[in-house]
Structure 1
Amino acid sequence: MREMLEGGELDVLTGDYLAELTMLILGRDRMKDPALGYAKTFLRQVEDCLGLAMDRHVTLVANAGGLNPAGLAEKLRAVAEQLGLRPKIAYVTGDDLLERAAELGLGAPLTANAYLGAWGIAECLQAGADIVVTGRVTDAALVAGPAAAHFGWAADDYDALAGAVVAGHVIECGTQATGGNFAFFTEIADLGRPGFPIAELRRDGSSVITKHPGTGGAVTVDTVAAQLVYEIQGARYAGPDVTARLDSIRLSAAGPDRVRIDNVRGEAPPPTAKVSLNTLDGFRNEMTFVLTGLEIEAKAELTRKQLESWLPTRPAELEWSLARLDRPDADTEERASALLRCVVRDPDPNRVGRAFSAVAVELALASYPGFTLTSPPGNGAPYGVFTPGYVPADAVRHTAVLPDGAVVRIGAPRATRDLLELAEPELPDPLEATGSETLPLGTIALARSGDKGGNANVGVWVRTDAQWRWLAHTLTVDALRTLLPEAAELPITRTVLPNLRALNFVIHGLLGKGVAYQARFDPQAKGLGEWLRSRHVEIPTELL
């Protein structure tokens, strides 16, 4: 926060504090103390930077209210009073549906929060707020709300709103838009500490993505494209205010560390509101065995048989995975070793606590040669499951509480549009290659991947029209199944985004019940794109 306030000009400083897993963590906080449920980090940052923000006339807009925006607003007033400052503080609420979960058909979750849109934030800003904190809003609403307030947009200014939503999506993950997690990272001269991205918004909804002068990282067409394909589901990017058409986006360089986003088209939002549901599902634990040298498979089989037969009670779920990281005639012990992991889950914490992990340790003198573990025995920990829910948009009581305490109810969208599947756009003519080389896909292709509940997405794009003619016809769903065997039996959806020379794949069910449940090696699929880029394919010689 201080870096952004001191580094250059800003009108609004936004902050996205809420991920799917964060909501589960905040829900557990609230179980311990009903006064909690907000992101305490934001409170500490404001204590450090409030005076600076007010001196520079920068408005703060953050979703750090989590499950308790009113409680965070109260804490902020106390901090401001201690600092001798009098900011106008407002908050947005109405996303929390927990008390009505049963009547809305959402079951009995730990948390149930509808994704709110931009208009509550806009209402607070139009009332003169210096700080606006919210509960669960869409990440992009933190940008679209200030833009709608500043430009006076109407609810049906769909193209402008969609442009702001796209800009918000680009900057929501901070330095992922300025070189962080970028596939061609070796091209960036200074990645020691990337600067945070800034969206300069225009009245028509177009924007320029940039960063403060003198900061590290880079803003290029590719770093922006990398964030655009991150954690998306298809060509329609739905929100509570507008559905942005990602297939309409046009990117262009607008100077050093400046990328223009324009041509974004918007449609009326869907008639339902998405709800983030987190449920405590039980307790989990895991132990990892190190298997070194010869007969790795036999050592793994002995460990499985011994552990399962020694357990006093078998947990409800018991999963084994063997990572063959070993290699023959290795020059270090680590390179001669494989990892055997056992993950257990059960509603009863005792079955996955010391009753499980102590047994793993007790094998030490009675099992395979070279027995060792990566950790001592420990107790199990609770885990949750994320699922999306949907309710009619008018069932959400979106509310803005203004600095003077006035309460303003934000109505549901007057016009809505069902999310229908788009026909696949016409593909370019295939590239007629005269020769090829077997090389990693990532020799010419970039990628970014992530998680959406139990699904994983991976976006892949290239830089030239010739490369696009090859990629669009080569990287089919069947090809992806071959390149990523873990996804071979799962449903996969492919979306073509010609303006970005990109393909987006959603692999349904790869992450099971979500990150808090998942025992997969990469539970949030953050490395999935890099795995794909490392797989070998036949690349036409003229594209290299």
Structure 2
Amino acid sequence: MILRIGNASGFYGDRFDAVREMLTGGGPEGGLDVLTGDYLAELTMLILGRDLLKDPSAGYARTFLRQMEEGLGLAHDRGVRIVANAGGLNPAGLADALRTLADRLGVPARIAHVEGDRLPAGPGVLAANAYLGGAGIAACLSAGADVVVTGRVTDAALVTGPAQWFFGWGPEAYDELAGAVVAGHVLECGTQATGGNYAFFTDHDPAVLRRPGFPLAELHADGSAVITKHPGTGGVVDVGTVTAQLLYETAGARYPGPDVTARLDSVRLTQEGPDRVRIDGVRGEAPPPTLKAGLCRLGGFRNEVVFVLTGLDIEAKAELVRGQIGDALAASPPADVRWELVRTDREDAPTEETASALLRLVVRDQDPEKVGRALTGAAIELALAGDPGFHVTAPPGKGAPYGVFETAYVPAGDVPHTAVLPDGARVPVPVPPGNRELVAVPEPEPPEPLPPGPVRRAPLGRVAGARSGDKGGDANVGVWVRGDRAWRWLAHALTVERFRELLPETRDLAVTRHVLPGLRALNFTVTGLLGEGVASQARFDPQAKALGEWLRSRHVDIPEELL
């Protein structure tokens, strides 16, 4: 038996037509058994929390409901089950809305949902949610659900749940569940597995990557899988695109989840054919006794102004503006004031834009007045009193609230994981019978280094790919190479110390290196780089999406044989 499971959404706001494309793109012989959609990121939970404050019937991804206007009928006609975490903070509300939609369309869809992830929220907390596993989804599907919507589950649970239902795996089928977790992690971000955000994109025809198709997995009963996509769609699936996604927002060899802890150091990737990558060998262990939980709260208010500095004396102009704004705010300064000068200017520039640099000011405070009128007034009053050529990229606004994401851990047994079946029956989902405390895997012995030879100064990215992302206030950067000799060099060359040298922003932060020889990869975790998380927008690149590309652009001494 093979479970063909696809993905049609990697985030809230992803390609709207992807549901239709995935339901119709496989043809009569290559259709899907299950179509999933991932709509929940850390920032999304904050957005949904604010929606719920305004409207108690809201709190779910409305885009998904609009997609189901067409998707419900298409899925019913093709016998495809739909599983999505679009329920957000109100999966019961989304399930009710789907039933109303199905009645209006005349589609006999059986709707179920999973709840219990919402935790008691303390003062100032908009949303507190535990990350549930796939067992509740499996229970809904086993009861005949055509559509299952959930609140906060792990991204991989959208695959482990259908797999448990389809293959009948028990909670201690650790290797099989771990294989499904790895496949689910590859699928969860949609087109990032098919050539999107891919470091080596220049290896491929630009036309192929213009509109990547969404990925699907052919999952087998032993937990192995083949990652592919519908025939005729854009993009590419190869060992590199799958490796990149496996490293995205992960860390060490043990990848913990509520269903199982997957051993990423056991993963084997094989190019089976064009746009077909086999994943096998994945080993699993009992899950940890606790569940990760995400807490979203309002952190205060923020505002920003970007001053444009043009032509000569850029540094002096920046110093003048900083001093003038500082004087204006001195009587009641915001709690947090950050300046950043971005030297986008060029000498003897042929256009005014390329002659200009950007001076960015970000302020934060609990008092909206301190980031509102006080700042906007100070900036506007410099229009005729500031540096020569004074102007800003946009008129200063009044400021806006910002959010903070925090991670906590709760005992799995304290979370009332519940499957609400199509007939309304509420079924408690038991905690997995076994658990294992999470401990780091010791770093394996490094490969034999390359023998000494001539080197050339060149960007790291000439031989290494990278993908980076965020987990709360931390950033992760996965770096991999495509050959054994390149791995023998990278494993010794890119130490934590060298990483810090190449990315000076990380010098004063805790950096942890994880070694994954089977993927020829290093995964770095940078603690605290993103402050209080993406919603706080503490950094120019608040989700660290381009941190890996910055690393690839830095110059290092590379053996000439690798170039």
**TM-score in terms of structure 1 length:** 0.98
Q: Which residue of 2 aligns with 1:176?
A: 192
Q: Does 1:188 align with 2:204?
A: yes
Q: What is the total number of aligned residue pairs between the two structures?
A: 538
Match of 2:39 among 17, 20, 23: 17
Q: State the match for 2:503 in structure 1.
A: 484
Query: Which residue is 2:150 aligned to?
Result: 134
1:166 aligns with 2:174: no
Q: Distance in 1 between matches of 2:218 and 2:146?
A: 20
Q: Give CA-to-partner distance per residue, 1:474-517, whole Å, 9 cap, x none.
A: 00000001111111111100000000000000011111111111
The question of 1:78 aligning with 2:94 is answered no
Matched, 1:111 2:133: no
Please say if 1:374 is aligned against 2:390.
no
* CA displacement at 1:433 relative to structure 2: 2.9
**Counterpart AA for 2:48:** L
Which residue of the partner structure matches residue 159 of structure 2? 143
Distance 2:255 2:377 in 1: 48
Computed over aligned residues only, the root mean square deviation of the Cα atoms, in angstroms, reads: 1.0
Name 2:52's counterpart in structure 1.
30
Matches of 2:552 and 2:337, distance apart in 1: 32
- Corresponding residue of 1:54: 76
Partner of 2:91: 69
Aligned with 1:407 (options 419, 426, 432): 426
**Deviation of 1:153 (Å):** 0.1
Among candidates 353, 365, 368, match of residue 372 of structure 2:
353
Q: Which residue of 508, 516, 526 maps to 2:545? A: 526
Q: Is the 8 A contact 2:300 2:367 kept in 1?
A: yes
Q: Which amino acid aligns with 2:70?
A: D
What are the equivalent positions in structure 2 for 1:246-285 lying under 5 Å apart?
246-285=264-303
Distance 2:489 2:430 in 1: 48
- Deviation of 1:305 after TM superposition, in Å, equals 1.2
**Counterpart contact for 1:440–1:534, Cα < 8 Å:** yes
Amino acid at match of 1:323: V
Report whether the alignment pairs 1:365 with 2:381: no
Structure 2 residue identity aligned to 1:94? G
1:357, 1:494 → 2: CA distance?
43
Deviations 1:244-294 (A, max 9, x none): 000100000111100000000000000111101111011111000000111
Say yes or no: does 1:508 pair with 2:524: no
Aligned to 2:444, the other structure's residue is in SS state coil
Distance in 1 (CA, whole Å) between partners of 2:252 and 2:56 is: 38
Q: Does the 8 Å contact 1:171/1:197 carry over to 2?
A: yes
Give the aligned residue type for 1:215.
Answer: T
| Alignment check: 8 A CA contact 1:490 1:507 kept | yes
- Mapped to 2, the partners of 1:454 and 1:162 lie a distance apart of 27
Counterpart for residue 139 of structure 2: 123
Greater than 2 Å deviation, 4+ residue runs:
none
The aligned counterpart of 2:559 is: 540
**1:383 Cα deviation (Å)?**
0.5
| Corresponding residue for residue 255 of structure 2 | 237
Determine whether 1:210 maps to 2:232: no
Q: Structure 2 CA distance, aligned partners of 1:122 and 1:63?
A: 14
Q: Secondary structure at the match of 2:132?
A: coil
- Give the secondary structure class of the aligned counterpart of 1:254: strand
Question: Do residues 387 (structure 1) and 406 (structure 2) align?
Answer: yes
1:53 maps to amino acid: A
Question: What CA distance in whole angstroms lies between the structure 2 residues aligned with 1:322 and 1:108?
Answer: 34
Residue 295 (structure 1) shift: 1.1
Alignment correspondent of 1:318? 337
Letter in 1 for 2:452: A
CA contact (8 A) 1:445 1:461 kept: yes
Which range moves more in the overlay, 74-83 or 183-192?
183-192
| Equivalent position SS for 2:338 | strand
Asked if residue 440 in structure 1 is aligned to residue 459 in structure 2, the reply is yes
Match of 2:322 in 1: 304
Alpha-carbon shift at residue 327 of structure 1 (Å) = 2.2
CA contact (8 A) 1:354 1:377 kept: no
Cα deviations across residues 291-339 of structure 1 (Å, max 9, x unaligned)? 0111111111111111122236322211111111112222222221111
Deviations along 1:502-533, whole A, 9 cap, x unmatched?
A: 00000111111111112311111100111100
CA distance in structure 1 between the aligned counterparts of 2:84 and 2:293, rounded to whole angstroms: 19
Equivalent residues of 1:179, 1:188 under 8 A apart:
no
> What is the CA distance between 1:48 and its match in structure 2?
2.0
Q: Report the counterpart of residue 89 of structure 1 in structure 2.
A: 111
Give a deviation string over 1:451-484, Cα, whole Å, max 9, x none.
1111110000111110000000000000001111
* 1:187 positional shift: 1.6
Aligned to 2:443: 424
Partner of 1:201: 219
What SS class does the counterpart of residue 156 from structure 1 fall into?
coil
Listed one character per residue, the Cα deviations across residues 69-114 of structure 1 (whole Å, up to 9, x for unaligned) are: 000000001111111122000000000003xx45xxxx75211000
What CA distance in whole angstroms lies between the structure 2 residues aligned with 1:369 and 1:499? Answer: 57
Task: Supply the distance in 2 between the matched residues of 1:111 and 1:233 (Cα, whole angstroms).
Answer: 25
Q: Give the AA of the match of 2:66.
A: R
C-alpha distance in structure 2 between counterparts of 1:471 and 1:421, whole Å: 22
Aligned to 2:3: none
Partner of 2:551, secondary structure, is helix
CA contact (8 A) 1:286 1:357 kept: no
- Equivalent pairs: percent with the same residue? 68
Q: 1:263 to 1:85 in 2, by over 3 A?
A: same
Are the counterparts in 2 of residues 433 and 541 from structure 1 also a CA contact under 8 Å? no
The answer (yes or no) to whether the contact 2:124–2:298 under 8 Å persists in 1 is no
Matched-pair contact (CA < 8 Å) for 1:433–1:542:
no
Q: Please identify, of 404-413 and 308-317, the stretch whose mean Cα deviation from structure 2 is larger.
A: 308-317
